[in-house]
């Protein structure tokens, strides 16, 4: 459903693109979460297990950066994975600030079972797009994501001390 906003053409176009992107993303996430929930996993837990499977043991901070998770959120995810016996933490003797997170054999077995099912789901979900369209979508999403990582982004909202609250809106061209 397109926007009903009656503003400038460029703003209507952006709103329509955003609405369409979010609706597609929400739809895909909802269906993917059904699969993960049936396996006893959250999206965050799956992403963490998948990263550890394919990247190997990671320092918790680096893992959070790769997964775009806050430190507090990732701590909770890893706590819950640890309670299930799927990951373990090891404080590094050379730098006690570093905590290495790795899969346990039980965790490896779990993600090796679930990951192929997830890939099969995504393959079915993306089958409505031709291969070239899938690649174009990937490149456009990557371009959008990278453009949001540049300097000068803020929501424009300020805290009481005048500092920007988050980085989500570009303040200069």
Q: What is the DSSP string of 49-68?
A: HHHHHHH-SEEHHHHHHHHT
Looking at the structure, do residues 111 and 125 belong to the same domain, yes or no?
yes
Task: Find the Cα–Cα–Cα–Cα dihedral 17, 20, 26, 30, rounded to 10°.
Answer: -150
Looking at the structure, do residues 56 and 118 belong to the same domain, yes or no?
yes
Looking at the structure, do residues 51 and 92 belong to the same domain, yes or no?
yes
Domain with 51 in it: what CATH number? 1.10.10.10
Percentage of residues of the chain with pLDDT beyond 90: 61
Q: Give the predicted TM-score (pTM) of the model.
A: 0.77
Looking at the structure, do residues 22 and 68 belong to the same domain, yes or no?
no
Looking at the structure, do residues 26 and 60 belong to the same domain, yes or no?
no
Q: Which domain range does residue 84 map to?
A: 42-129
Looking at the structure, do residues 13 and 48 belong to the same domain, yes or no?
no
Could you give the CA distance from residue 55 to residue 80 in angstroms, rounded to a whole number?
Answer: 20
Q: Is 111 domain-assigned?
A: yes
Q: Is 170 domain-assigned?
A: no
What is the predicted pLDDT for the residue at 65? 87
E strands, the chain, are: 58-59, 87-92, 95-103
Is residue 1 scored above 90 in pLDDT?
A: no
Rg (CA), the chain: 20
Looking at the structure, do residues 55 and 110 belong to the same domain, yes or no?
yes
The pLDDT tens digits of the residues spanning 121-164 come to 999 999 999 999 999 999 999 999 888 876 566 666 555 555 55
CB 108 within 8 A of CB 53: yes
Number of domains in the chain: 2
Looking at the structure, do residues 120 and 100 belong to the same domain, yes or no?
yes
What is the predicted pLDDT for the residue at 31? 92
Percentage of residues of the chain with pLDDT beyond 70: 86
Q: Is 163 domain-assigned?
A: no
Looking at the structure, do residues 55 and 74 belong to the same domain, yes or no?
yes
> Which of these, 19, 45, 20, lies nearest to 32 by C-alpha position?
45
Task: Say how many Å lie between the first and final Cα of the chain, rounded.
Answer: 30
Token pair in block for residue 58: 């990671």
More confident residue, 128 or 68: 128
CB 107 within 8 A of CB 85: yes
Looking at the structure, do residues 111 and 54 belong to the same domain, yes or no?
yes
Looking at the structure, do residues 115 and 50 belong to the same domain, yes or no?
yes
Looking at the structure, do residues 125 and 112 belong to the same domain, yes or no?
yes
């Amino acid at each position: 459903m397109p926007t009903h906003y009656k503003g400038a053409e460029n703003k209507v176009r952006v709103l329509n693109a955003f609405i369409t992107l979010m609706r597609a993303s929400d739809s895909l996430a909802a269906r993917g979460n059904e699969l993960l929930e049936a396996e006893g996993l959250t999206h965050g837990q799956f992403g963490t297990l998948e990263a550890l499977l394919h990247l190997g043991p990671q320092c918790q901070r680096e893992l959070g950066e790769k997964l775009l998770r806050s430190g507090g959120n990732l701590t909770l995810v890893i706590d819950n994975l640890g309670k299930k016996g799927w990951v373990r933490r090891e404080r590094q003797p050379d730098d006690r600030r570093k905590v290495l997170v790795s899969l346990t054999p039980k965790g490896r077995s779990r993600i090796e079972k679930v990951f192929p099912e997830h890939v099969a789901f995504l393959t079915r979900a993306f089958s409505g797009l031709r291969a070239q369209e899938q690649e174009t979508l990937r490149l456009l999403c990557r371009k959008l994501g990278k453009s949001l990582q540049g300097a000068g982004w803020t929501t424009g909202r300020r805290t009481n001390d005048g500092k920007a609250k988050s980085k989500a809106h570009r303040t200069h061209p």
